[in-house]
Amino acid sequence: MSTERALQTAIATAREAGALLRTFLHRPLHIHEKARRADLVTDADRSSEQLIVERLRAAFPSSTIVGEESGVHDGTGSERWYVDPLDGTTNFAHGYPIFCVSIGYERDGELMAGVIYAPFYDELFAASRGAGATLNGTPIRVSRIAKLADAMTCTGFRPADYDRNGAHFQTMSRTAQAVRRDGSAALDLASVACGRFDGFWEFDLRAWDVAAGAMLVREAGGTVSAIGGSAFRTDGGSILATNGPIHEEMLAVLAKDA
C-alpha cells in the first residue's frame, strides 16, 4: 500500500521497459496503424507493455492496470496504474529520440506517483505526492518565466485534429517566444516539470498519456488544469500544464480560439 513502494516499483519497471525499447531501436520494426490514421503501434509498444503489466501485477496483485495496448486488467483493490509503454511511437518508428515510458499510480482515485523514463537520454523523472519531483535523483522545479512572450511552449495533435488545433497553434506561435510539437505528451509534461518548457497544452489525451506527467508538473511546483480552466482530471481529455506564472495568459489564448 505504501506510495514509496509503488514509486520504486514504477522506477525499476520503467527502466527495464526502457532498456527493452532500446533493443528495438536498431532493428526492423513491425509498424501497424490503429483505428485512426497516424495512430501507430509497433512490436516494441506491445513487448514493453507486456513486461510492465507482468511486473506491476507481480508486485501489486490486487491493483487495476490500465494499459494503452492491452486495455484494463481488473483488480480487486483501490490502486490503479496507468501505463503508456511507449509514448511517442511515431517518433520511435522514425528513429527520432523523443519517446518514453510513462507509469502513473493512483490510489482511491487520487494520483500518488508518476514515473517517466526517456531511454535514449537515460533520463528518469519521478514524483510522488507531497515529496517533490526529481530527474535522475536530483530535485527539479518548473521555470520562473513570467510572461508568455518569453516562454517556450509545446503542444501535440494528430493530422485529423488539425482543424481544432490550427488556430491555437497559430495564435500561440505569434504570442509565445517559441512553440514546439515534440510528439510525446508524457515527455512534454516532464519537460515542463524540469523547466525546459514553460507550458504544454493538448486536447484528446488519455489517462496513460497524462497521469505521470501531471503528477510531475504539480510536484515540481507547476499548475495543471483542463484547457478550459476547470480542474484537471486524469480521464478528462485535455490538459494545460504550465510553470504557474504564465497559466492565465495561456488559458486566455486558448479561450480566444476555442
From 53, 100, 116, 185, residue interacting with ligand IPD (rule: CB under 6 A): 185
Taking the C-alpha atoms of residue 216 and residue 203, their distance in angstroms, rounded to an integer, is 19
How far, CA to CA in Å, does 155 sit from each of 39, 92, 181? 17, 18, 5
DSSP, collapsed to helix, strand or coil, labels residue 21 as helix
183 binds ligand IPD (CB under 6 A): yes
Residues numbered 75 to 134 that lie near ligand IPD (CB under 6 A) are: 84, 87-89
Type of residue numbered 81:
W
Specify the stretch interacting with ligand IPD by CB under 6 A; choose among 48-56, 167-175, 180-188, 244-252: 180-188
Q: If we measure between CA atoms, which residue out of 153, 145, 195, 143 comes closest to residue 176?
A: 153
**Per-residue contact flags (x/-) with ligand IPD for residues 130 to 169, judged by CB under 6 A:** --------------------------xx------------
Say which entry of ligand IPD, Ca ion, none residue 183 contacts (CB below 5 to 8 A, set by partner kind): ligand IPD
Q: Which is nearer to ligand IPD, 79 or 202 (CB)?
A: 202
209 binds Ca ion (CB under 5 A): yes
Residues numbered 29 to 68 that lie near Ca ion (CB under 5 A) are: 68
Residue with the closest Cβ to ligand IPD? 156
In the chain, beta strands by DSSP E: 31-33, 40-42, 64-67, 71-73, 79-87, 100-107, 110-118, 123-128, 133-135, 138-140, 152-155, 178-180, 199-202, 223-225, 239-242
Q: Which is nearer to ligand IPD, 161 or 257 (CB)?
A: 161
User: Residue with C-alpha cell 536530483?
Assistant: 138
Specify the stretch interacting with Ca ion by CB under 5 A; choose among 84-92, 114-122, 132-140, 192-200: 84-92
Contacts of 59 (CB under 8 A, 6+ apart): 5, 9
Residue with the closest Cβ to Ca ion? 87
In 35-147, beta strands by DSSP E: 40-42, 64-67, 71-73, 79-87, 100-107, 110-118, 123-128, 133-135, 138-140
Residues numbered 85 to 144 that lie near Ca ion (CB under 5 A) are: 86-87
Least distance between ligand IPD and beta carbon 207 (Å): 12
Q: Which is nearer to ligand IPD, 3 or 90 (CB)?
A: 90
* Positive/negative CA dihedral, 124, 7, 208, 247: negative
84 binds Ca ion (CB under 5 A): yes
Look up residue 73 and give its three cell numbers: 486488467
Residues numbered 197 to 236 that lie near ligand IPD (CB under 6 A) are: 202, 205, 209
Q: Which residues bind Ca ion (CB under 5 A)?
A: 68, 84, 86-87, 209
Q: Which residues bind ligand IPD (CB under 6 A)?
A: 84, 87-89, 156-157, 183-185, 202, 205, 209
